[in-house]
Amino acid sequence: MIIVTGATGKLGRRTVERLLERLPADRLGVSVRDPRKAQDLADRGVRVRQGSFDDPASLAHAFEGADQVLLVSLDRTGEGCVAGHRAAIDAAVKAGAGRLLYTSQMGASHESRFEACRDHARTEDLLDATGLPWTALRNGFYAASALLFMESGRHTGDIALPADGPVTWTGHDDLAEAAAAILTDEGSFEGPTPPLTGPRALDFDALAATAAEVTGRPFTRTTVPDDAFREQALAHGAPAPMVDLMMSIFEAARNGEFSAVDPTLATLIGREPTAFRTVLEQSWAE
């Protein structure tokens, strides 16, 4: 049985849907914090059990009978994030899983300027220490993050952000399809995958130009000094740790940590990954 954690989230849910296209429902299980949100999956024959990375005892039940476990990384950073991942890895090992998979990120490194990438690197070390076969899906930076950064500019026509660098913004749908492909071919990868990326690395100058093409409206790209941007975000009520994390994304992008373009994702899904322009068109049409 394949167990997917976080199956009501953006990536986990999409991955389960792609797996259901490849496997009978009774070969899939999901571990979710609130089973009510996965009732439709249960109705389709997927095993739904409550499980939380913050409650190791719950994971023993959620992971029971697992052949493979896909651990979808937590949406937080720091020691609390790594501790949750450690609990999930330990639970999967105790449940007898033969293979562990984890949604990491391109740029994962102990030296990364982006805290989340340092957390991913620490988690990959934990996976390696199990002695089990494991795969870290080095996912490209989510295109949804670029959309969030652009949301204010969508209305003002000015994308005002700190200096950045090229990023291979990558769609959730493509990454979910790749995860399903890897889960159903157990020999695909051992250890970290190559970067699973979109087709082009784009900075926010390029994204502003794309927004203008998509909407037919002019867009400008204003570079805001780091200190000024941080002060603005704090003044608008953003918590300081969140602001620091956001600033580290731009620092890492300037350092080229998210600029790789790799063909592996296209190979896995059998087509060219979705261009950011298409993601933008679909999102802004809603």
| Sign of torsion over alpha carbons 260, 263, 269, 274 | positive
pLDDT reported for residue 286: 64
What kind of architecture, by CATH, is found in domain 2-139+172-192? 3-Layer(aba) Sandwich (3.40)
The Cα 256–Cα 263 span in angstroms is 18
**Residue 278: which H helix or E strand, with range?**
helix 276-284
The Cα 152–Cα 155 span in angstroms is 6
pLDDT in tens, 214-270: 999 999 999 999 999 999 999 999 999 999 999 999 999 999 999 999 999 999 999
pLDDT in tens, 144-162: 999 999 999 999 999 999 9
pLDDT in tens, 163-212: 999 999 999 999 999 999 999 986 679 999 999 999 999 999 999 999 99
pLDDT in tens, 43-79: 999 999 999 999 999 999 999 999 999 999 999 999 9
The Cα 90–Cα 94 span in angstroms is 6
Whether 9 has a pLDDT exceeding 80, the answer reads yes
The Cα 81–Cα 107 span in angstroms is 17
Q: Where are the chain's structural domains?
A: 2-139+172-192
What residues pair up with 157 in beta bridges, in sequence order? Answer: none
Q: Under DSSP, is residue 281 helix (H, G, I), strand (E, B) or coil? A: helix
Average pLDDT of the segment spanning 82-86? 97
pLDDT reported for residue 187: 62
- Global pTM? 0.95
Going by C-alpha positions, the residue among 220, 226, 227, 224 that lies closest to residue 251 is 226
